Structure 1
Amino acid sequence: MRAGLKQQQLADKSGVAVRTIGRYETRAKSVPKPDTVALLAEALDLTPRQYAELSAAAGFPAQEAEPRPRASRVPHRHGDRLVEAAAQLADEVGSRWRREEEQRKVHSAALPVRWRTSEELSDHWENVDPARAEPMDLDADLEQIVDVYRGVPTGRLVVVGRAGSGKTVLAMRLVLGLLEIRETDGAVPVVVGLESWHPDQDFRTWLAARLLRDHPGLGEELPDGTALAAALVEHGLVLPVLDGFDEIAAGLRSDALGRLDDASRMPLVLTSRADEYREAATAVKPLTGAPCIELADLAPADLAGYLRRTARKTAQGVPLWQPVIDAMREPRTPAGETAAAVLATPLMLVLARTVYGGTANRDPAELLSTADLPTPEAVEAHLMAQLVPAAYRTPIEGRGFDPARARHWLGRLARHLDRLGRHDLAWWELGASLPRGVRALLMALTIGALFTAVDLALVVVRFGFDPLTALATVAVDFGAGAAFGVAHGLLAGRRDTALAPSGMRISLRGPWRRRNLKRRFMIGFAGGFLLGAVSIGVRDIVQGIVYGAGPFDVSALVAFDVPAFGAAVGLATGITYAMLSLWERPLDFQSVPSPADLLKASRRTALAQALVFAPVLAVVVPGTGWAVVQVLQLLPLGEWRWTFEFGLTVGSYAAFMGSVGYAIALTAWGRWLVFGRLWLPLLGRLPWAVPAFLDDAYRRGVLRRAGVVYQFRHARLQSHLSGTRDDQA
């Protein structure tokens, strides 16, 4: 009162939640922490005497009344860089979620999402706040989520609710609200889906890896070799908002909750379906220090108000949804009871608005047909089935897809995700649901066909068409393609995981990065040796058969050529791969705000790497071959010759095939090119314009973005489109 500030103004200046200030003012909470008192004193600009009075009123002894400067939250020798990186991360997260909020039209007609405190699923209140033993009153609505969270001393909160109750939207609003009041060195709230985490993985390591995937700019290494992403997590500059605890496999949830409990008591927010969290919490215990709030169903009055505000009117001036609203009023009809049960979740309410809100020939009164839609499950299935036709009934920016074809392709994508066991639709994983052997075969056929087309054209232009020469050329080129196909399959590793974008760009500016040069050389040498040995071995065998050479001569040629040529290619690729590490730089912040931007960045990186490979291979491979021939001439093994023209041919062949094969078979962009843009459209599983289709589905509200990946609007929609029941998903 003396300062002339309202509660909200004081909250904005101090960083203390307005709900907490209100409780102090009404003495509903009379034991504030010393740090809270210090924040209030700083915001009120109190004199030492006034500070002592405030501290005394808070119940602290006189010796604790001296103001104390707040210690840095980042006690690290690279603290300034971490604070700067956190600020960049906060800008990027805020920008992404504001765009997502606009896309989802969250503010166009806000839903009255409310919740109540769940005593059953909350931890002991003494663990939440040692200064109190009575339960906390956290009942509120969506506009108060930031105040509710900041009123929890541990910084831990669990949000539960049934499917479609608005948990993800609540997480989004919490993140944007916390970013608005974030201090310079405060933690950055980041929404992360939990489905890909296995309890065997260290949680912090996994979290850092997810940050790197969605924010490649955090791949920068500090002088001590630590990546920015790992350093931000380690020093508490990331607040994980973990969405979808229920999406972890059922048999792993108890272990997962226990591992989260052991994560050094780090602040976090966890969302889950109520039953799944209850089962895990019963098996172990609720998350330590975390109160739990449970989202409530929408009341009939809320439904009526929302539908009346957001729907068009009929020609008679009556709200379109008036028959449904009347049926849901007391006393309800059986059909009104069913409609109220279905529309009680924000997901189904928004789906119903989408299905019946766009054209004049759709009447929501059909939801009241007890003959066609007798149960809530039938109504929900009806809304799910009508979403895609409703979303695709009008073109967007002059572009449109046939609804039936769009439904087919979306179903294919949904089944692809089901086979992978996840909800993140990543462009670099298209094709990952195919068996590894099939992928390797398709990759070998693609590269072999490309090499053959180019090689045959050059041979015909230079020497004319000769059947034997053409046969040898085809065999050699498909042998090289097979080598790249095998390398592509081996690159997936034991877990058969898709090759993810590196998050790096090639730049000749800036200081060289001299880390892991030996390891990079060994990896490059091993891969190059395999490719070179297989290619030259196939060439020698095929040419020996075509030109009638004896088995002894062919064997001798293979015995010398394979190690020599393999070593030549291995040396070239090892040197090049090590050189590339000198010029790799993390992608800039704000450079990949969407999946399409990451695709473009990955394409630029792959092509730049290929351009570096080409000249090195062109020089090192023929140079090594010439040196080997000089050694062989000293041995009694027949006549060996190496002409300049032959060396030029070998160098050109190695430069083209090595660089192109690398870009296609051994990069995330190349994998996308082969499967996402060629084979899957060729097989009818995707449209030819895949990026345009995904972006169009996003604009129509069928897909949503989560960082650099897409997701279906809701997990239930994915299950419906894939033809899988919810309990089997």
Structure 2
Amino acid sequence: MSTPFGKQLRDLRSRAGLSQDRLMERSGVSVRMISRYENTEHLPKRDTAALLAEALELTPDEQADLLAAAGYRTGRAPEADGAPPRAEPLFKARLVEAADKLAAAVGGHWKREVEHRQVLDPDPLSIRWLTDADLSDHWENVLGLQTPGDHTPPDLDGELEQIVEVYRRVPSGRLVLLGRAGSGKTVLALRLVTGLLETRRSGEPVPVVFSLGSWDPAVDLRAWLTAQLLRDHPGLGQVLPDESTLAAALVENDLILPVMDGFDEIAGGLVSDPLEKLNRTARMPLVLTSRAAEYRAAVAKSDVLTAAACIRLTDLTVDDLARYLPRTTVRKSGDGTPLWQPLLDELRSEPRTEAGETLAAVFTTPLMVALARTIYSDTPTHDPAELLDETAFPTPDAVEAHLLGNLVPTVYRVRTEQRRFEPERAERWLGYLADHLNRLGEHDLAWWRLGTSMPRPTRVLAMALALGLVFAFADGVLAGLLLGFDPMQFTGGVVIDLAAGAAVGIAHGLLAKHRGAAFEPSGIQMRLRGARSGPRRNFARRFRIGFAAGVLLGLAYGATREIIRGLILGLDPNTVFELVIVNSLLLALVFGFSAGVTYMFLSLWERPLDLASVQSPAGLIRSSRRTVVVQALLFAPALAAVVPGTVWGLVELLQLLPPRFGEWHWSPWEGMILGLYAAGFGALGYVLGLTAWGQWAVFGRFWLPLTGRLPWAVPEFLDDAYRLGILRRSGVVYQFRHARLQDHLAASYRTAGRR
């Protein structure tokens, strides 16, 4: 049965000649919610009612009547000179504001990255391209023409500083950038992003770089783009009236221009299916980069990218090298000639020697030129003339392996003033990180995924050991302070603590298997004051999540504890089995209900992060740490209060069972003890075992350094590698400087047998 508001909304929509779908497009309120308002007794929030009124283009009096029908009073807006001018709908205004803030954040980030990557120092290395008509779609589709015919295609040839101008010549907004490995595709895409942001006007789409290597084509493209935006910009998680997020709304309303880097890296090169999925979004403007060979192979299996023009990067010339390399240093060789002069003379000589031919084949891509610059121009003791040694470097592969292999030792020996990280150790640690990414099939180095490339049994063991030690330490300190040191009691307590650690480790493994290898950062903050602007209070869903985690923890803890106790006390297997069944079920119900209720009410203090509050990996680590600490401080007293009541209620229910099940006795004191135990160790177990920051703390800050795979100061090491140019930043994750460097370091790590 509909309310007066629902009937009025339906009548006004019919009068305007709008379907529910059309009203959704105008207002941003989902069809499901519109239908719910029109046909049930459900009433909207004030903001939602205002959005619907704006979308229906009502007069001020009609808007006031509709809001009043929803239960909200409003004054009548005075009219002057007839009907007042219509304001932009609130929904669109909010999206424009969010897009403008996102543009500022993205622009600031990539401006810093351009400076860090030395793209413009001392002057951009020449990057040129030609139109690839064979891999472009029909020009009628690119130009958006309705009738076929002989149409003159736009001139898309150009060089680095012309990329924005060239992109604006493509009416469809769909452009493919092709080139071989290291040819400068990413640099060109980055220059396009910064150039578009420099000339962007309010309300225009925001160019955002997405690394396609992490896209699973089985996932809807828009859903994946939304998830990536939420990962890098948690502030876009604010919930709109239709229960979607700002990130989803920006994607759905084409206020995001995806610049998708690395098409050739999707699913290990299985690219025919991804190209088909991309063609289902033919109206979405996008920029795609790919290695030419892989893209051509994908087109042969499927089709070109619909409505997309294609350009192909060309090789560097000797003149390009002569203009660039001498300007990167003022150093001279031993005989007083400019440092790069012998190598350039060899490249210009006619005919070339074998060494000249080898170097000419290598220095055709910006990647190799940039590596050579770092190793020789930026290093006071290295001379590029050594590359002319035909015996040491007989082939282009030998030269490239030399440049890739010397990058890390060079920058760590020369650029690190304090020498905090020794070159040999740094290379080993970077090799582990590269191998970790290759095992995951990714290029995004996310701190919360460290350790997830290990086998699951190893992860569970590491988590159980770490938590058991934490529990035993905390238990030992508290017991010693309150009761004094008793060896027998201490030993028993350690056994129980190790059992609790094993329980949380098992629960971690089961939840990780269900939710994926890693727990993702939540993108929220905890605030005890202020207006609520986060997700709606879906108490039923929150209870289910908390209940499931609590049940897993209770089952694992009850079974582990009773098995260990049975082994210590020498109980017969049948008795142990009965104790495992009974206590596991009891603890599962107690922990499940208590965790469900507690997790449900934690949502009362959750708020989305601000858009500008997290812009780096270190910033997300700090934000996640603050969130879980506050959650633990709220979680502990809530559990201490809920568990005793749950125990009492459960025991009362068990008294109703037939006598053959025995009598149930659980004193209030035992319930309080269990509540205090759950408060302390439950909060610790949640923080360390069931959150992204806890997974990072256990694996990234404890297990991997303990086993020699990473240094103890992991954040400082990653930041140092970034500062030295080995890593780069993309949102809240790191990436290796180039995929070839990642592959080289991973191969060296595996060759050395470090697994």
* Deviation of the 1:334 alpha carbon: 2.5
- Do structure 1's residue 694 and structure 2's residue 718 form an aligned pair? yes
Verify: 1:578 aligned to 2:600, yes or no: yes
Structure 1 residue runs without a partner (length 5+) = 1-71
Residue 323 (1) aligns with residue 336 (2): no
Q: Which residue of 1 aligns with 2:384?
A: 364
Distance 2:545 2:655 in 1: 32
Q: Aligned in 2, Cα 1:397/1:515: closer, same or farther, shift over 3 Å?
A: farther
The question of 1:596 aligning with 2:631 is answered no
Aligned-pair identity in percent equals 57
For 1:241 and 1:480, locate their aligned partners in 2 and report how far apart those are by CA, in whole Å. 47
Is 2:703 the partner of 1:679? yes
- Judging changes above 3 Å, is the alpha-carbon distance between structure 1 residues 617 and 292 closer, same or farther for their aligned structure 2 residues? same
Q: 2:507 aligns with which of 466, 487, 508?
A: 487
| Equivalent in the alignment of 1:88 | 101
Q: Confirm or deny that 1:236 pairs with 2:254.
A: yes
Residue in structure 1 matched with residue 112 of structure 2 by the alignment: 99
1:375-424: CA deviation from partner (whole Å, max 9, x where unpaired): 11111111111111111123546453111111111111111111111111
Match among 642, 645, 649 for residue 667 of structure 2: 642
1:127 has 2:141 as partner: yes
User: How many angstroms apart in 2 are the aligned matches of 1:466 and 1:250?
Assistant: 58
**Contact preservation (8 Å) 1:221, 1:228:** yes
Change over 3 Å in CA distance of 1:371–1:576 after alignment to 2: same
In structure 2, the CA distance between the partners of 1:603 and 1:224, relative to structure 1 (3 Å rule), is: same
CA distance in 2, matches of 1:77, 1:493: 42
Deviations 1:475-509 (A, max 9, x none): 32222112211111112235742111111111122
- Offset of 1:633 from its aligned partner? 7.2
Amino acid paired to 1:485: G
Tell me the residue number matched to 2:438: 418
Selected match of 1:305 from 316, 323, 342: 323
Task: Tell me, in whole angstroms, the C-alpha distance in 1 between the residues paired with 2:269 and 2:319.
Answer: 40
Distance 1:76 1:494, change over 3 A: farther
- 1:390 matched residue in structure 2: 410
Return the match for 2:183 from 158, 161, 165: 165
Mapped to 2, the partners of 1:544 and 1:249 lie a distance apart of: 48
Deviation at 1:344, TM superposition (A): 1.5
Give me the whole-angstrom Cα distance separating, in 2, the residues matched to 1:112 and 1:136: 22
- 1:613 alignment counterpart: 635
Contact map agreement 2:282 2:306 (CA 8 A) in 1: no
Seen in structure 2, the aligned counterparts of structure 1 residues 599 and 364 have a Cα distance that, compared at 3 Å, is same
**Do the aligned residues in 2 keep the contact of 1:394 with 1:400 (CA within 8 Å)?**
no
Shift of 1:298: 1.1
Provide the secondary structure at the position in 1 that maps to 2:421.
coil
Return closer, same or farther for 1:140/1:551 CA change in 2, 3 Å cut-off.
closer
Separation of aligned partners in 2, 1:107 and 1:563: 65
- The CA distance in 2 between the partners of 1:587 and 1:424, in whole Å, is 22
**Deviations, residues 299-334 of structure 1 (Å, cap 9, x unaligned):** 101101111111223266521000001101141333
Match status 1:718 vs 2:732? no
Answer yes or no: is the 8 Å Cα contact 1:565–1:625 preserved in 2.
Answer: no
Q: Which residue of 2 aligns with 1:252?
A: 270
Measure how far apart 1:135 and its partner are: 3.1
1:657 corresponds in structure 2 to 681
User: Quick one: which amino acid aligns to residue 206 of structure 1?
Assistant: W
Cα distance in 2 for partners of 1:551, 1:362 equals 71
TM superposition shift of 1:555: 6.9
User: Which of residues 376, 381, 386 in structure 1 aligns to 2:396?
Assistant: 376
Distance 2:178 2:573 in 1: 72
The structure 2 residue matched to 1:285, chosen from 284, 303, 306, is 303
Residue aligning to 1:15: none
What are the residue-to-residue correspondences of 1:466-481 with 2, within 5 Å?
466=486, 468-481=488-501
Which deviates more from structure 2 when the two are superposed, residues 634-643 or residues 124-133?
A: 634-643
**RMSD of aligned C-alpha atoms?**
2.6
1:452 corresponding residue in structure 2: 472
- Look up the match of 1:532: 554
Secondary structure at 1:78's aligned position in 2?
A: helix
Return the offset for 1:266.
Answer: 0.8
| Contact 2:268–2:441 under 8 Å retained in 1 | no
State which of 508, 524, 532 in structure 2 corresponds to 1:511: 532
Task: After TM superposition, give the deviation of residue 716 of structure 1 in Å.
Answer: 0.5
Q: Which amino acid aligns with 2:532?
A: P
Which range moves more in the overlay, 305-314 or 86-95? 305-314
**How far apart, in 2, do the equivalents of 1:708 and 1:486 lie?**
29
CA contact (8 A) 2:506 2:556 kept: no
1:38-187 mapped onto 2 (5 Å cutoff): 78-109=91-122, 110-130=124-144, 133-187=151-205
Unaligned runs of 5+ in 2: 1-85, 750-755
Q: Give yes or no for contact 2:648–2:671 (8 Å, CA) kept in 1.
A: yes
Tell me: CA distance 1:215–1:548, structure 2 relative to 1, closer, same or farther (3 Å): same
Residues 473 and 382 of structure 1: is their aligned pair in 2 closer, same or farther, counting only changes over 3 Å?
same
Q: What is the CA-CA distance between 1:343 and the residue it aligns to?
A: 1.2
Deviates more, 1:546-555 or 1:361-370: 546-555
Equivalence for 1:200: 218
User: For the Cα contact (< 8 Å) 1:436–1:496, is it kept in 2?
Assistant: no
- Matched length: 653
**CA–CA distance in structure 1, aligned partners of residues 635 and 219 of structure 2:** 36
* Counterpart residue number, 1:189: 207
Q: Which whole-Å CA distance do the structure 1 matches of 2:395 and 2:556 have between them?
A: 63
Greater mean deviation of Cα atoms: 170-179 or 521-530? 521-530
Distance 1:185 1:445, change over 3 A: same
Worse-superposed segment, 602-611 or 335-344:
335-344
How many angstroms apart in 2 are the aligned matches of 1:242 and 1:465?
A: 61
Partner of 1:29: none
What residue identity is the alignment partner of 2:373? R
Give the distance between the partners of 2:138 and 2:88, measured in 1 at CA: 32
Per-residue displacement from partner, 1:23-61 (whole Å, max 9, x unpaired)? xxxxxxxxxxxxxxxxxxxxxxxxxxxxxxxxxxxxxxx
Per-residue deviation at 1:261?
1.1
Instruction: Please give the secondary structure, in 2, of the residue aligned with 1:249.
Output: helix
Task: Give 1:251 shift.
Answer: 5.7
TM-aligned CA deviation for residue 428 of structure 1:
0.7
CA 620–139 in structure 1, closer or farther in 2 if over 3 Å, else same:
same
Is 1:565 equivalent to 2:587 in the alignment? yes
Please, which moves more after superposition, 232-241 or 394-403?
Answer: 394-403
CA deviations 1:693-714 (Å, max 9, x no partner) are 1100000001111111111100
Partner Cα separation in structure 2 for residue 718 and residue 283 of structure 1: 29
Residues 162 and 274, structure 1, Cα contact 8 Å, conserved in 2:
yes
CA distance in 1, matches of 2:418, 2:269: 48
Q: What is the CA-CA distance between 1:337 and the residue it aligns to?
A: 2.2
Offset of residue 106 of structure 1: 1.4
Matched letter for residue 138 of structure 2: H
CA spacing shift, 1:363–1:560, aligned 2, 3 Å? closer
CA distance in 2, matches of 1:583, 1:602: 15
1:372 counterpart SS class: coil
Amino acid at match of 1:322: Q
TM-score, normalization by structure 1:
0.85
